[in-house]
Amino acid sequence: MRTETRHEHFQQPSLIGNVLRRLHIDIPLFVGLVLTSSLSLIILYSAGGQDMGVLSRQATRMLMAFSLMILLAQVNPAQFKRFSAGLFGLGIFLLLAVLIMGTIGKGAQRWLDLGFMKFQPSEIIKITTPMMIAWYLSEHPLPPKSKHLFIAVLLILVPTLLIAKQPDLGTAILVASAGAGVLFFAGLSWRFILAIVGVLASLAPIIWHFMIPYQKARVITLLNPEADPLGKGYHIIQSKIAIGSGGIYGKGWTGSTQSELNFLPESHTDFIFAVFAEEFGLFGCLGLLTLYLFIIGRCLYIAVQAQDIYCRLLASSLAFTFFVYVFVNIGMVIGILPVVGVPLPLISYGGTSAVTLQCSFGILMSIHTHRKLLPR
Amino acid sequence: MPSRSYPMRDKFLEERLFLNRIVAAFITIAVLTSGLIVRLIYLQIVGHIHYATLAKENSIKIIPLVPTRGMIYDRRGRVLAENTQTFKLEITPDKIGDTPGNLNETLLRLQKLLNIPDEKIEQFHKLRARQKRFAPTTLLTNMSNDEMVKFAVVRPYFPGVDIKTHLVRNYPFKELSAHVVGYVGRINEKELKSLPIAEYGGSTYIGKLGIESSYEAILHGKTGYAEMETNVQARALKTLNEVDPIAGANLYLTLDMDLQKTAYDALDKFNGAVVAIEIKTGGVLVFASRPGFDPNPFVSGIGSAEYKALTSSDDQPLYNRALRGLYPPGSTVKPFIALAGLEYEAISKQTRLHCPGFYQLPNDKHRFRDWKKTGHGSVGMNEAITQSCDVYFYRLANLLGIERMHNFMQRMGFGEKTGIDLIGEKAGIYPSKDWKLKEKKQRWYPGETLITGIGQGFTLVTPLQLARATATLANKGSVVTPFLVDKIVAAAATTKGPETHKDNLNLNASNVSSIFSAMVNVVHGAGGTAKSIGHGINYQIAGKTGTAQVFNIKQGAKYNERSIGFKLHDHALFISFAPADNPQIAVAVIAEHGGHGGSVAAPIAAKVIKQFLGGNGENRNPP
């Protein structure tokens, strides 16, 4: 039994430390997030064509996201647990609303127009799905029984399929992996995991059959981008050129010719990692991965430190999802995964996903800072 | 791993299970991250040079800077080919607006405003398909003043539509110079493959014919280039390095457009060719082929109907008769055969032969007829040439034999290209035993020697060859090589035209002067076949008429030009040089279906000579 309290970390609490603690902010995680966000602004200045407008919009969004994070950190995790099912239900309702009356955005139905702002319900579901599954499983002894597993899988499939239908493969993968993450951390048996992997592998041809042509094209493109260098393979080829030409040390900040001259599409959103790799080289990439691993490590530490099952499952799942985010994005940019629309977390230009991410970090901080300082 | 159900929560078990999973997750994350790192190492270290090269190629484009094409002038500086500024109407789809509807609507409005035929709109769509959206596409070339004014007034209502100036090749003398100067045209796919990309990357036009084609490399100039940094749409952002183009050199031809016009006009209703050579230099003064054609439509792309009209015309205006037309030389070869006879000592100047109006080979019934049915009686060499006695030359040919005739005539330039600086020249035919064996797979018959002696049979010559042989004769055996480009004037230096070889046939001077006096008699003698042209000048013209059969007359039949169609009339030929005592100019004329050399071809040559030398025989055009 451990009895540590967070006060042990700080022998002489500083003024800032005190303020942050009172705000329920986990300092190591906060420092990691601030560092990553600053890096985001630095790369965006270069990748976005040195447009101060892009920079100020991103900074505004970051401030909003950080505020939301701090706000959520104040909420007692018990409240999250209480409203898990309700929030999940709301998310599903909004997804259905999008299907029915969503406006077309980028060829896919993802956006809900609220009049004053556009909004993607799939972002809410990214957090509410692990909350729901964590709540459901924590209500029963672990590891989960088959019956509970079955229901949990169903609960994951509903939002996943609704999002995949939009179609937004990237978000669907993130939602599914958030839910699956909870199952994994809840102690889903290895045999069951292997069975699922086996079933999925054998289902691959059938899934292929049901895939939308553009999704198929992305898989083909991954396997052989040079087959269509000016069409579907263009993204991957140009992105590989950007990364490879960066070399070990990179071309230096704002030295990316690939994005500067617009050879690299979406260089400030989904493909920003290519610009980063071109400008900062292999050393920069290792640094960024280290920063990500630090954040993930801290989140897993928070999960381990959490005091009830719900918090543990939710925290570990959110941490794992964050990694999936990083892996899927970098994997696609360096050409080992198909192109799916997943941004590089905390770095890519764009609003909704950044806000959702910071919300999940807010929840993590809430879990960590609301522990009872008593031995269990 | 426990998998059975637990009725009660076992907190310790749950926590251990969870920690196990955290460790498993950590290992998964570590493995996957290693995968990313391995891939990054592969791209950024192993593949670095490869990708760095690709990145550079991506962003730097070489843009060719096209040189201005050299001008072409005649010997007195009159412009034969120039680059004129014309106006074209261009549309930049990018600037009109986004939808294809906007473009179509703009096109419709323009069509109404400027009466643009549908054909041009179609052509525009074809061109546009090959272009980037931000690149302007030409709708109209060569806009008239009227069209310019009409458009200028409403220009503000047509965003994305602009009038641009560009240089277009123009040939002011049109059909008069077409067969010499030729024309440029758009580079076609086939040419593009064989051309050096570095030189022609930006060029639109290339010489297709005539001087434009023969002197393409000199006229074109040297393409410069600009190294531009470009973005993905290939839009240039900034110039990194620039090498200026070097304009093509200007060409000054030996041609005299005044004489050329005189010759062309003199041919009048006849198709044919006139070639005049300045004897002392070899410079071609007249190179006329009638009919000519207007080369200007070929520059921007001739319409198919217009082209078909040219190619299907019976007169074959695209055919360069002076360079490529092959005609039997007829009696115009007689001075040369006579000279061969003297040079080989097969006959002497004094030898007189009897002409009964026909000639028969021993042991052969076939009668080789003279053009004069009653015969010329007793003729010496001078009369034989003056009166163009066929029988004399049948006998002379028989005495010479085909091999000696072939050898001599080949030295005079028959059956060989003259080496003029124009592409596409025909060599013609001067037959020999070997030639017949090789080409016809037959042995040579003695009768063929006879008709070769009067310029019939297998012999085929170009007007250029005829003029050149005449010039060589007039030059007393010093071989004249014709050429058209006198001076090449580049910014750096002025150079001479083509090198001409200076062969000498080493002819006997007294033999030559005998031939000269016979040829003077043709024009100035009492019985000369071209005596109509010898008036009003104080110098002498030496000449020889010829009539080339197009139509084989059967044995015993009579040729009656009134009874047969014009197209079967004989070709009229005339060769000449003047002044006879100091030859300056040699002229060969062929008037297709002209009938008689003396009455049709000789006056044409006389006009050229008289204009060139003037009444008193002074050369107005010193070299």
Residue B441: how many other CB atoms lie within 10 Å = 7
Give the residues across from B278 on adjacent strands: B585
Distance CA A117, CA B106 (A): 38
Distance CA A138, CA B212 (A): 90
Please tell me the total number of residues recorded for chain A in this structure. Answer: 376
pLDDT digits (tens, 9 = 90+) for B403-449: 999 999 999 999 999 999 999 999 999 999 999 999 989 999 989 99
Q: Is A149 at the interface with chain B, CB within 8 A?
A: no
Distance CA B70, CA B487 (A): 12
Residue B55 burial (C-beta neighbours within 10 Å; 0-12, 13-18, 19+): buried
B331 is catalytic: yes
Residue B6: how many other CB atoms lie within 10 Å = 14
Q: How confident is the model at residue A13 (pLDDT cuts 50, 70, 90)?
A: low
Cβ contact B394:B379 at 8 Å = no
Distance CA B415, CA B468 (A): 12
Judged by CB atoms closer than 8 Å, whether chains meet at A316 and B9 is answered as: no
Interval B338-366 mean pLDDT? 89
Q: Residue A308 pLDDT > 60, yes or no?
A: yes
Q: Is A240 at the interface with chain B, CB within 8 A?
A: yes
Output the six-digit token pair for B43: 């791209």
pLDDT (0 to 100) of residue B504: 85
**Greatest CA separation for chain A:** 62
Q: Residue A230 pLDDT > 50, yes or no?
A: no
Give the best-scoring range by mean pLDDT among A202-206, B49-53, B513-517: B513-517
pLDDT digits (tens, 9 = 90+) for B454-492: 999 999 999 999 999 999 999 999 999 999 999 999 877
Cβ contact B285:B387 at 8 Å = no
Query: Can you tell me the ipTM of this complex?
Result: 0.89
pLDDT digits (tens, 9 = 90+) for A122-163: 888 999 999 999 999 998 887 888 888 889 999 999 999 888
Q: How many CA atoms lie within 13 A of A16 on its CB side?
A: 4
Residue B22: which of A245, A247, A303 has the nearest Cβ?
A: A303
Residue owning tokens 């609507």? B105
Domain boundaries, chain B: 11-46, 63-251
Sequence letter at residue B526? A
Average pLDDT of chain A?
83
Average pLDDT of chain B?
85
Residue owning tokens 């041809």? A205
Q: What is the dihedral of CA A318, A192, A306, A298, to 10 degrees?
A: -50
Q: Residue B2 pLDDT > 90, yes or no?
A: no
Sequence letter at residue B165? T
- Alpha-carbon torsion B547, B551, B553, B559, what sign? negative
Cβ contact B282:B474 at 8 Å = no
Cβ contact B198:B41 at 8 Å = no
A284 to chain B: nearest residue by CA?
B40
Catalytic residue of the set B331, B388, B432, B576: B331
B25 to chain A: nearest residue by CA?
A320
Collapsed DSSP state (helix, strand, coil) of residue A41: helix
Distance CA B574, CA B568 (A): 19
Cβ contact A310:A138 at 8 Å = yes
Residues of B in contact with A247 (CB under 8 A): 44-45, 48, 52
The alpha-carbon radius of gyration of chain A (Å, integer) is 21
Q: Is A143 at the interface with chain B, CB within 8 A?
A: yes
Report the CATH number of the B63-251 domain.
Answer: 3.90.1310.10
Q: Is B23 at the interface with chain A, CB within 8 A?
A: no
DSSP codes, A285-298 = HHHHHHHHHHHHHH
pLDDT digits (tens, 9 = 90+) for A24-35: 999 999 999 999
Interval B113-123 mean pLDDT? 84
Nearest CA-CA partner of A314 in B616, B81, B18: B18
Output the six-digit token pair for B527: 């019985």
Distance CA B331, CA B178 (A): 30
Distance CA B140, CA B91 (A): 10
Contact map slice: A 274-333 vs B, CB within 8 A: 277, 281-282, 285-286, 289, 293, 296, 300, 303-304, 309, 312, 316, 319-320, 323, 327, 330-331
Distance CA A185, CA A314 (A): 9
Judged by CB atoms closer than 8 Å, whether chains meet at A141 and B7 is answered as: yes
Residue A263: which of B22, B33, B58 has the nearest Cβ?
A: B58
Chain A nearest-CA distance from B37, in A, is 7
